[in-house]
A and B are shown apart, each in its own frame.
Chain A
């Protein structure tokens, strides 16, 4: 049959294969022996395909599979073992003893032994995420691309083009407050690209050194507390850069259940870099306010994850990962992987930002933005905030950092309590529109709407309670004046 490579599965399994082969007469995308093997291993997809293809012979086929199902050890196990042994023989024929690298071995051990592994993990995250992505990406590169290129060149150029060639509403669509160039493109390329670009570089570096699985296995226990496996550490940390991007990356998680929990936590309690920067600027001068914000958002993250884990049906997350040896990274590999990911970002995420600005422009043209803002005034006042903050919260939905930026403009007129409450509520409050769009795309309309329907009341409830709690504490301790 097959001329070259073939695995012998032993007389029992081969017997079953021989009985199945004459019954498989349909049209299959691959060899009939492979179909028979998949059937014996209990593959549901191929069973459904056979049921469609084989008509009257299906009953006979099912009977044979049922007979094989009673074998001990089960066919899936026998087949896997036969393949494993064959692979072993091939490997033994071509490979020598595994290389022993003393330095690699020591480093390997240090990155796995908990007393050294966790400090190393903290260093990697500090230099990789905080200094490299946060410092170089979110500050230096954003200042250059957004601050210099866009502010001095692209935006004025778009405004000039719009003013010269287009009528007012269309000129706004290109270069207005919600213009596709001045908001959509500037945001996608000027603010997010430097952050995710540096993140991708860091990520590819970790991947190429073989450190990434260690990161996941060290985080596994902590992630289990919120119903996720160690793998989720990747989208969750990416969320600190851009939640929209991170929501796309939840694809890498194994089960739908984990994907929903991760999407939910990203939307609720993982602030993105744009938001994080402004909140730090807002609360940074008061360690107490910042501490309260961290405590509240962190508690909500843990509590929400824990509750989601308890409530959602389905099996608990399990963790397994191959652990490659550590090695020196190859620059060419890192550059290539980073480039491929940036290309993917530009193709998949840029249209979301462009679409978002199109929608905002439309709502603005129709006067609907103002309408929504006035509807929000009531809930905002219940948080102890001035009604003007309503506009900020709405903008916060469309663009998280806009919300925080608006708050930044209002900061002089707000008390420390009001600032803390507003910053906390905004962090928890609905994701930005781009993130919501990606949530719908990745998780479906129903799950996305459910997530938003949970987040909005939770954010307001937490803000409301925090306002009252801090108010009462201030009356006792005199925190209010400062």
Chain B
């Protein structure tokens, strides 16, 4: 699908710290978990950045930073900007 050989979407846990990407889908286990992710602002279509992978997953969405455990981080399907970690525009939309 990618025009410039962008890597296919994969769970957030697959990408290195510093990556920017767009949330493509949420593989939530149930409605309650989906509602939780949405309430946190983790919504398909939103751009985020992975700040840290340990001791916990820390992501930045707009002005908000969120800490997530492995279980929740794995449910976020992320399409990274083409060469992961290079693009640096904090353009949301």
Residues of A participating in the B interface, judged by any CB pair closer than 8 Å? 41-42, 73-74, 76-77, 80-81, 84-85, 88, 91, 95, 98, 112, 114, 117, 213, 216-218, 220-221, 224, 229-230, 315-316, 318-325
> Contacts A220-B69, A318-B69, A323-B67 known; A91 to B58 CB distance under 8 Å?
no
* Of listed B25, B34, B67, B92, residue having the most chain A CB within 10 A: B67
Report if B14 contacts A (CB, 8 A). no
Interfacial chain A residues near B63, Cβ < 8 Å: 91, 95, 98
Question: A217-B55, A220-B56 are contacts. A316–B44 as well, Cβ < 8 Å?
Answer: no
Separation of A72 and B76 alpha carbons in the complex (Å):
17
Q: Which residues of A contact B40 (CB under 8 A)?
A: 320, 322
Nearest Cβ in chain A — how far from B38, in angstroms? 4
6 extra interface residue pairs, beta carbon distance < 8 Å, beyond A77-B44, A80-B39, A220-B56 = A85-B93, A220-B55, A220-B69, A322-B64, A322-B65, A323-B65
- The reply to whether A320 and B67 form a contact with Cβ atoms under 8 Å apart is yes
Assembled-state Cα–Cα distance A318/B66 (Å) = 13
Interface residues of B in 19-62 (CB under 8 A from A): 25-26, 29-31, 33-36, 38-41, 43-46, 52, 54-56, 58, 62
Question: Hey, which chain B residues are within 8 Å of A216, CB to CB?
Answer: 67
A91-B63, A217-B67, A224-B69 given; A112·B45 CB < 8 A: no
**Chain B positions within 8 Å of A230 at CB level:** 56, 69
Chain A residues with Cβ below 8 Å from B58 are 112, 217, 323
A77 CB contacts on chain B under 8 angstroms: 26, 34, 38, 43-44
Please name the residue on chain A nearest to B37 by beta carbon: A320
Cα distance, A325 to B40, chains bound together (Å): 17
Cβ B55 vs Cβ A221 within 8 A: yes
Give the distance in Å from the alpha carbon of A91 to the alpha carbon of B40 in the complex: 17
| Count of interface residues, chain B, beta-carbon cutoff 8 Å | 34
Bound form: Cα–Cα A218–B64 in Å: 19
Q: A217-B56, A318-B69, A320-B66 are in contact. Are A42 and B33 (CB under 8 A)?
A: no
B52 touches A319 (CB 8 A): no
Most buried by B among A117, A319, A325: A319
Q: Which residues of B contact A224 (CB under 8 A)?
A: 69
Q: Is A319 in contact with B72, judged by CB distance below 8 angstroms?
A: yes
Residues of B within 8 A of A41 (CB): 35
How far is A98 from B63 in the complex, measured between Cα atoms in Å?
8
**Are B69 and A114 closer than 8 Å at their CB atoms?**
no
Q: Report Cα–Cα, A112/B52, bound state, in Å.
A: 9
Shortest B31–chain A CB gap in Å is 6
Q: Name the residue among A42, A77, A315 with the largest chain B CB count within 10 angstroms.
A: A77
Query: Which residues from A are CB-within-8-Å of B55?
Result: 112, 114, 117, 217-218, 220-221
A42, A73, A320: which contacts B31 (Cβ < 8 A)? A42
The answer to whether B66 and A322 touch across the interface, beta carbons within 8 angstroms, is yes
User: Which chain B residues lie closer than 8 Å to A84 at the CB level?
Assistant: 41, 43, 46
